[in-house]
């Protein structure tokens, strides 16, 4: 046998041996997103630890953009044994997934004492009809990030406490010529915009639904849209916000081209990382402001949970993996891009060190997290709101007409 022949034969035998070993163990297919919260590298590292601690179980990771997550979960529900065993799902889906039977009810698998140890807002992420369809994992909300240097250049000493104050400070920054557009948002026609809209609605004490009927045409929800439009009209908001997602917001803010930005937890670490940001060290974070007489701070529940699709043939192993990822120790080890669901973690130096302002903001924001409408037809409601609010932001419709149109359309949902 030539040396090449031996090499080929050897590697063929090795492959065969590996294939045999692999067939003896359980392989889990897990679906995650590659955007915001934990990075791919973090999730891979956690998974390696899990595999090391659980011989015989290996995990195949798949990362998709957030926009593809819902459809992937739905499409794989018909895949039988070849579907996913663990999926990451958004706070807005349990109602739909539960009524359609896509996720396994795991209420009985969750230890009773967890209920007290984990934040209520986190539990909302996985609950529908009194049952739990997974374990919360990413406890997230949109915070107000501000560039301290820009504020001090404009003579502003403290960050805004209310949205009106924020608009005033933006006016000052613009008037003094520090920045052309002090505000940047993720207002593309997408879920990202609805998260900003929800934050502002929460600040204004607004409501989306009352007894199943849409009520977002009046009150706080309407005030929220009016505020959004006004900041565009005044030139305070970067007009390109209307095609931005969260990553665009991070980029613009990290380039020093905005004074204020709403974004998820993950931006705190990245905007302060010199390799990723030109404004590292100048970035501060606070809870999103409130509205005089209505709220002190505002926040949208943007949490996500891990669940087991009902067609998974490996529910026990999948639950072991979910339990591993959501445990306090693991979450504390990876708390730079996403904060733990565990109340006790917020006083652990391992978590707080180096991000004291984020933790302080989180304590306040998490207590006021406001949910987006918890209805089974949420995806459609959101699409309708996205389209009509976008028309307002683009100057194609006025606030009242657009919200009335959205309300009519929501009533037509089958």
Partner 1 sequence: MLGRRQLREKWFLLAPAMAVLALITLMPLANTFWLSFTDTRISALPTPTHFIGLENYIYALTDPDFQDALFRTLYFTVVSVGLEGVIGVAIAVLLNQQFKGRTLLRALIILPWAVPTIVNAVAWRLIYHPDYGALNSMLYQLGFISDYRSWIGDPMTAMHMVILADMWKNFPLVAYVALAALQTVPGDLLKAAAVEGASPWKRFWSITLPWIAGPLMVVMVLRTIEAFRVFDIVYVMTGGGPADSTKTASFYVYQEYFNYLRSGSGASYAVLVAGISAVMILGYYAAARRQSQGGAA
Closest CB to partner 1 among residues 102, 319? 102
Altogether, the residues listed in the chain come to a count of 414
Following CA atoms 360, 203, 248, 351 in sequence, which dihedral angle do they give, to the nearest 10 degrees? 20
Q: Please, what is the minimum distance in Å from the beta carbon of residue 70 to partner 1?
A: 7
Please report the DSSP string for 214-269 in residue order. E-TTSHHHHHHHHHHHHHHHTT-B-GGGGG--HHHHHHHHHTT--SEEEE-THHHH
Q: Does 196 bind partner 1 (CB under 8 A)?
A: no
The residue assigned the tokens 């929460």 is: 202
CA 108 – CA 287 distance, rounded (Å): 35
CA 194 – CA 189 distance, rounded (Å): 9
Select the span of 75-83, 116-124, 127-135, 218-226 touching partner 1 (CB under 8 A): 75-83
Q: Does 34 bind partner 1 (CB under 8 A)?
A: no
Please report the DSSP string for 319-365 in residue order. HHHHHHHHSHHHHHHTTTTSB-SBGGGGG-HHHHTT-HHHHHHHHHH
- Among 298, 63, 9, 21, residue whose Cα is nearest residue 164: 298
Q: Does 263 bind partner 1 (CB under 8 A)?
A: no
- CB neighbours of residue 4 within 10 Å: 8
CA 206 – CA 198 distance, rounded (Å): 9
Say if residue 71 is exposed, middle or buried (CB neighbours under 10 Å; 0-12, 13-18, 19+).
exposed
In the chain, the largest separation of any two C-alpha atoms, in whole Å, equals 86
Closest CB to partner 1 among residues 204, 388? 388
Select the span of 45-53, 111-119, 326-334, 383-391 touching partner 1 (CB under 8 A): 383-391
SS3 content of the chain, % helix, strand, coil (to 5): 50, 15, 35
- CB neighbours of residue 25 within 10 Å: 13
Q: Of 390, 399, 406, 410, which one interacts with partner 1 (CB under 8 A)? A: 390
Q: Of 131, 153, 328, 409, which one interacts with partner 1 (CB under 8 A)? A: 409
Interface with partner 1 in residues 94-123 (CB under 8 A): 96, 100-102
CA 192 – CA 244 distance, rounded (Å): 9
Q: Does 226 bind partner 1 (CB under 8 A)?
A: no
Number of residues in contact with partner 1 under rule CB under 8 A: 35
Q: Please, what is the minimum distance in Å from the beta carbon of residue 50 to partner 1?
A: 27
Q: Please, what is the minimum distance in Å from the beta carbon of residue 255 to partner 1?
A: 9
Q: Of 105, 168, 380, 400, which one interacts with partner 1 (CB under 8 A)? A: 380
Q: Does 131 bind partner 1 (CB under 8 A)?
A: no
Select the span of 67-75, 160-168, 212-220, 319-327 touching partner 1 (CB under 8 A): 67-75
Q: Does 383 bind partner 1 (CB under 8 A)?
A: yes
Closest CB to partner 1 among residues 320, 405? 405
Strand duo 260-263 + 183-184: pairing = parallel
Q: Does 90 bind partner 1 (CB under 8 A)?
A: no
Select the span of 86-94, 163-171, 184-192, 207-215 touching partner 1 (CB under 8 A): 184-192
Interface with partner 1 in residues 295-324 (CB under 8 A): 310-311
Closest CB to partner 1 among residues 70, 294? 70
Both structure tokens of 351 = 């978590």
Q: Please, what is the minimum distance in Å from the beta carbon of residue 251 to partner 1?
A: 8
Strand duo 213-214 + 135-138: pairing = unpaired
Q: Of 63, 394, 398, 400, which one interacts with partner 1 (CB under 8 A)? A: 394
Q: Does 411 bind partner 1 (CB under 8 A)?
A: no
CA 231 – CA 170 distance, rounded (Å): 9
Interface residue list for partner 1 (CB under 8 A)? 67, 70-71, 74-75, 77-78, 96, 100-102, 188-190, 239-240, 242-243, 252, 310-311, 377, 379-380, 383, 386-387, 390-391, 393-394, 396, 409, 412, 414
């Amino acid at each position: 046998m030539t040396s090449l022949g031996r090499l080929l034969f050897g590697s063929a035998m090795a492959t065969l041996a590996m294939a045999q070993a692999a067939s003896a163990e359980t392989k889990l297919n897990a679906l995650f997103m590659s955007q915001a919260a934990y990075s791919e590298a973090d999730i891979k590292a956690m998974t390696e630890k899990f595999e090391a601690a659980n011989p015989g179980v290996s995990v195949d990771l798949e990362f998709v953009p957030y926009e593809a997550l819902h459809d992937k979960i739905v499409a794989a529900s018909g895949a039988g044994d070849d579907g996913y065993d663990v999926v990451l799902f958004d706070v807005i889906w349990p109602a739909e997934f539960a009524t359609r039977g896509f996720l396994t009810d795991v209420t009985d698998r969750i230890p009773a004492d967890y209920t007290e140890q984990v934040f209520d807002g986190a539990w909302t992420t996985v609950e529908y009809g009194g049952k739990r369809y997974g374990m919360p994992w990413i406890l997230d909300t949109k915070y107000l990030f501000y560039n301290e240097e820009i504020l001090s250049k404009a003579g502003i000493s403290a960050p805004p406490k209310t949205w009106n104050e924020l608009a005033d400070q933006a006016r000052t920054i613009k008037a003094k010529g520090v920045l052309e557009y002090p505000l940047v948002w993720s207002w593309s026609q997408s879920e990202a915009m609805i998260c900003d809209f929800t934050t502002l609605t929460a600040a204004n004490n607004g409501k989306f639904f009352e007894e199943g009927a849409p009520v977002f045409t009046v009150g706080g929800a309407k005030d929220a849209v009016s505020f959004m439009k006004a900041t565009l009209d005044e030139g305070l908001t970067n007009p390109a916000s209307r095609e931005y997602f969260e990553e665009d917001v991070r980029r613009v803010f990290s380039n020093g081209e905005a004074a204020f930005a709403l974004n998820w937890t993950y931006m705190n670490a990245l905007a302060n990382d010199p390799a990723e940001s030109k404004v590292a060290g100048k970035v501060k974070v606070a809870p999103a402001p409130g509205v005089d007489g209505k709220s002190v701070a505002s926040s949208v529940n943007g949490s996500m949970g891990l669940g087991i699709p009902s067609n998974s043939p490996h529910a026990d192993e999948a639950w072991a993996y979910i339990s591993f990822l959501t445990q306090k120790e693991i979450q504390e080890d990876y708390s730079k891009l996403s904060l733990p669901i565990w109340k006790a973690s917020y006083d652990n130096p391992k978590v707080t060190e180096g991000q004291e302002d984020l933790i302080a903001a989180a304590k306040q924001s998490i207590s006021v997290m406001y949910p987006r409408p918890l209805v089974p037809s949420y995806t459609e409601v959101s699409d309708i709101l996205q389209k009509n609010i976008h028309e307002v932001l683009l100057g194609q419709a006025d606030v009242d007409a657009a919200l009335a149109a959205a309300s009519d359309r929501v009533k037509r949902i089958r």
